[in-house]
Structure formats: C-alpha cells, structure tokens
Homo-oligomer: A and B are copies of this chain.
Amino acid sequence: MPAYATNMRLKFPIVALVLEIITIILYAVFVDYDDGKGHGHGHSNETHPEEQNPMTLYPMFQDVHVMIFIGFGFLMTFLKKYGFSSVGVNLLLAAFGLQWGLLMQGFWHLDNGKIKVDIFKIINADFSTATVLISFGAVLGKTSPVQLLIMTILEITIFSINEHLVATVLEANDVGASMIIHAYGAYFGLAVSRVLYRPALRNGDKNEGSVYHSDMFAMIGTVFLWMFWPSFNSAIAEPGITQLTAVLNTYLSLAACVLSAYAISSLVEHKGKLDMVHVQNATLAGGVAVGTCADMNIGPYGAMLIGLLAGIISTLGFKYLNPILASSLGIHDTCGVHNLHGMPGILGGLAGIVAVALGKKEGQASMQAAALASSLGFALVGGAITGLIMKLPFWGQPPDQNCFDDSLYWEVPEDEGENEGNLAHTDHSTNKAEA
C-alpha cells in the first residue's frame, strides 16, 4: 500500500530541511533589512508611517502574529484527538509560509535587486500564511505534514500572483482581504479537499468530533481572532483617520455578528440550544465580511449590518450547507471554512463592489468585481492543481481509518492507568495502519 506509507522518518525531514535550506539561500541572495531609504511599498502606493519610525506598525504586527499562531492554531483544536496536529502543524506551516511569502511578495517589489524587509513586509508575510491556514481547515485531519508543506509553497506562490494582480494591476480595494485572503483561502482549500475526497469518510468518522475540553481550547483561538481582527483589517490601511475607520468598522461588525450568530444558532438547534461550532466560527464572519469595506466610509451602522448578515449566513451555512457540500458535491470541509471564510469573503467582495459604486471610496466597481472573480478563479484552479499534486502517492497521506488522529504523526502520551476504553480522550491507540 504505497499510498499509505505514512512513516515520515525520511521524507518529512528531507522535505523540511531542503525547503529551509533553499529558502535561506534565496534570502542570502535577495533579502536585506530596510534601511529606510527606499520609496513606497507597492501594495497600496501610500505613504506609510514607518518612513518616520520603522517600529510604528509593530504593535499591529504583533496582533496579526497572535491571530496567525494562537488564533488559527487553537481554533482548529476542537477535534478530540487532533490538537497536537492543529496547533503544531499550524506553527510549522505558518513558520515556513511566512518565509516563503516574504520572498514571493517581495519579488514583485525589488529595490535594487533586493527585498528590503520592514514591519510592513512581515505583516504581509504573516497575511500570506493565513491563506494556507484557512485551506488547512478544509483538509484538517486528512492530510500529512509533507502534503501540507507542498500546499504551503504552491498556495502562497499563487496567492502572491493574484495579490499583485488585484492590488497593483486592477488597483482594487481589499484592505482587510475579504477577497484575496479569505475567499481565496477557502475556495483553494475546498478545491483541494474535492480532489482528495475520501468516500469512506462520507458518513463521518468517530474521531471527527469534539470533547468538552477540546471545545474550550478552540475558544482560545476564537476569542483571540475576534479581539485582534480590527488589527488584521487595519494593519496596512492608510495611517490616520482611514486606519481608525478600519478599526471601528471591524470592531462594530464583529460585535453585531456575535448577536446574529448566537440568535440563529439558538433558532436552528434542538430546543433552542447554542452550538459551539457556531460560536467558535460564525462569530468571526463579521470580521471577514467587513474586510474589503473596512477602510471605507460606510458608516458605523453599515459595518454593523454587514456583520449582522455575515453571522446569519455563516451559521446557516454550518447548519444546512455543509452537509450538502459533503453529500452532493464530494467536498468535505472539516472546519467549515466555507462558512467562515468562503461565503463571508464573497459577501465582503460584493459589499466592496456596492460601496465603491456608491462612492464610499475611490475606485471602480468593475475593478472590484474583477478582483473578486480573479481571487475565486485563482483559488479554484490553483487549488485543483495543488490537490492533484498532493494526491501523488509518496507524500504520506493518512489512510481513512487514521484520519483525525494525532497518533499517526505524533508521539502521543500513553494513558497512565491500564484501564482501556473509558478515557476516550486520552487513550490514543497507535499505529493501526502504518505500512
């Protein structure tokens, strides 16, 4: 069974070290510190405050950093036996991805043949990893670390092309990246998931659920994402009132979104109970959906309406659409990224088209529409091709019966007692299907 040669002993170290060494060589050739003497940053063609003080954006960077490593990492720990992989592989992919993203984005903006790194560029490098972490959510539990490193390289490379197209060629607005990160990351991941579809898991897996404490760990991720999302949407906004606007719109959109996500959760669940899946995810949809418009003069109530709508759409998606995607289209979406990033990302793109058409910010509605189409197109085509490459039989993909289980790729602590079976969440049976 070569497809299930899940022993990572040689292939993972070789892939990881070779990638890192190639990256270091590229850094030696192309990357240098920003000495403050360059001009412009390419992404938004605006003057950035670090031209006065190179550390001005550092607190924003750290907020984004927390979202990437704690936020995404812990949000995915809800699975009962997959916490090590969620937070651990998240760290791996983001640590490699930010190095790769800095290169891929930097190649579009060389300065005397060099990428001059500053805080603005490492914020964007962190952003580029978000696309991968969103896609990771779609395939969580069904892929090997090596497959995911391959995905990281390809997804960030393609992201950088689309970002350049959207920001520099189309000159579209997307300050909070509803389109170029959220919609792109979600549909890329769904395309990968479609290609890697496993019919045997159609009816669900016994490990594909949470236990009480794994849901609590996931809430750490949710709350950090929720709190720092205003930084995500405003980090690269024009300084001053525009940046303040991006903060306030995101703050208010998220607040309104919580109310609608909870309300709809209670409305659709058994006896009006709240569902942690909705609380963990749909409360964040307001941050995604307000992204494109965040720095626009849409009014505080406009931001709140976007958040309200996003919370409703996202919760309904989790409840009704996710099962249909799996059963009818063969798209299994472990974390429901379609509901948190996909649909709200499209909503954000559509809101941006309307807002620009209404003159809330300079720009052309047609270019906004082209940016949304471009992001979805690159995502679906890029994701499908990436999925085919990930499907090659030598990347250590897990067999069906070992999905959603850390013990295939991790040393998992043995339960102390000899009692079998009655400590389900710490009894990690091992090695069932290793070839």
Task: Give the B-binding residues of A (Cβ under 8 A).
Answer: 7-13, 16-17, 19-21, 23-25, 27-28, 31-36, 53-55, 58-59, 62-63, 65-66, 69-70, 73-74, 77, 80, 83-84, 87-88, 91-92, 95-96, 98-99, 117-119, 122, 145, 206, 209-213, 215-217, 219-220, 223-224, 226-228, 231, 239-241, 243-245, 247-248, 251-252, 254-256, 258-260, 262-264, 266-267, 269-276, 279, 283, 297, 299-301, 304-305, 308, 409-413, 415-417, 419, 421-426, 428, 431, 434
Contacts and interface: CB of A to CB of B under 8 A. Distances in A.
Contacts of A87: 216, 219, 223
A415 B211 contact: yes
Top 4 A-B residue pairs of the complex, sorted by shortest distance between their CB atoms = A9-B272, A8-B272, A416-B424, A95-B258
B216 A217 contact: yes
Given A8-B271, A12-B266, A33-B297, 14 more contacts: A7-B272, A25-B301, A33-B241, A53-B239, A62-B63, A73-B219, A73-B223, A88-B274, A95-B254, A95-B259, A212-B428, A269-B411, A273-B409, A419-B421
10 contacts: A8-B266, A12-B262, A24-B301, A24-B304, A58-B59, A62-B227, A84-B216, A95-B283, A98-B251, A119-B247
Contacts of A206: 416
A148 to B, nearest CB: 12
Contacts of A17: 259-260, 263
Contacts of A241: 33, 35-36, 54
A226 B422 contact: no
A257 to B, nearest CB: 8
Nearest to A73: B223
Contact of A13 (B8, B62, B216, B267): B267
Contacts of A269: 9, 411
A424 B425 CA distance: 13
Given A117-B300, A255-B96, A300-B117, A227 B66 contact: yes
B410 A276 contact: yes
B96 A258 contact: yes
B69 A223 contact: yes
B300 A411 contact: no
Given A272-B7, A419-B422, A259 B84 contact: no
Contacts of A247: 55, 58, 119
Contacts of A423: 422-423
